[in-house]
Amino acid sequence: MSTATVVTKGTWAIDPSHSEIGFTVRHLVSKVRGKFETFEGAIVAAEDLTNSTVSVSVDLSSINTGADGRDDHLRSADFFEVEAHPKMTFVSTGVVQSSDEEFVVTGDLTIKGITKPLELEVEFLGEGADPWGGTRIGIEAKGEISRKAFGIDFNAPVQGDKLMIGDKITLHIVAEAILQA
């Protein structure tokens, strides 16, 4: 029996204190990393895991790149425009199992009122008991988006035709979820 087939059927709440939703973006000649501090979500595991669903809501004002000025700029109308669009959401539309522990989860990602498809490569890390009598699962996921596709196109030219900020955003998610009674 494969590891992935032993996932207990039910609703799993993402535990924000043991999870992280982060990103990487090109900046000049390097990369900047950041994460969102506040989010919630659920995984509904079906008996046939390809019928499972995922939904996540992220508070965009909770962005943290380690630089307060940059974070304030990212909250502004140049980027996320959090006063008008406070949340980023993901709702799955399909799950395909690619190996015992790997899946491709497709879904709709909404940022600034614009919804685009997102494909996440997901690795199932396991299921087990916690010290408090609960049951947990772990997953790690990665995907890429174009920020311009979501109307986030602020940039500054440098050295002729080069731009300060890359378009490609790599999303990194590590989540631990608790089975709900």
Confidence of residue 180 (pLDDT cuts 50, 70, 90): very high
Confidence of residue 2 (pLDDT cuts 50, 70, 90): very low
Q: What is the pTM of this model?
A: 0.92
Closest CA to 94 of 65, 59, 53, 33: 53
Three-class SS state of 38: coil
pLDDT tens-digit readout, 8-22: 999 999 999 999 999
Among 25-29, 41-45, 99-103, 154-158, the least confident range? 154-158
The average pLDDT across 9-37 equals: 94
Map out the domains of the chain as residue ranges. 3-179
Does domain 3-179 fall under CATH 2.60.40.10? My reply is: no
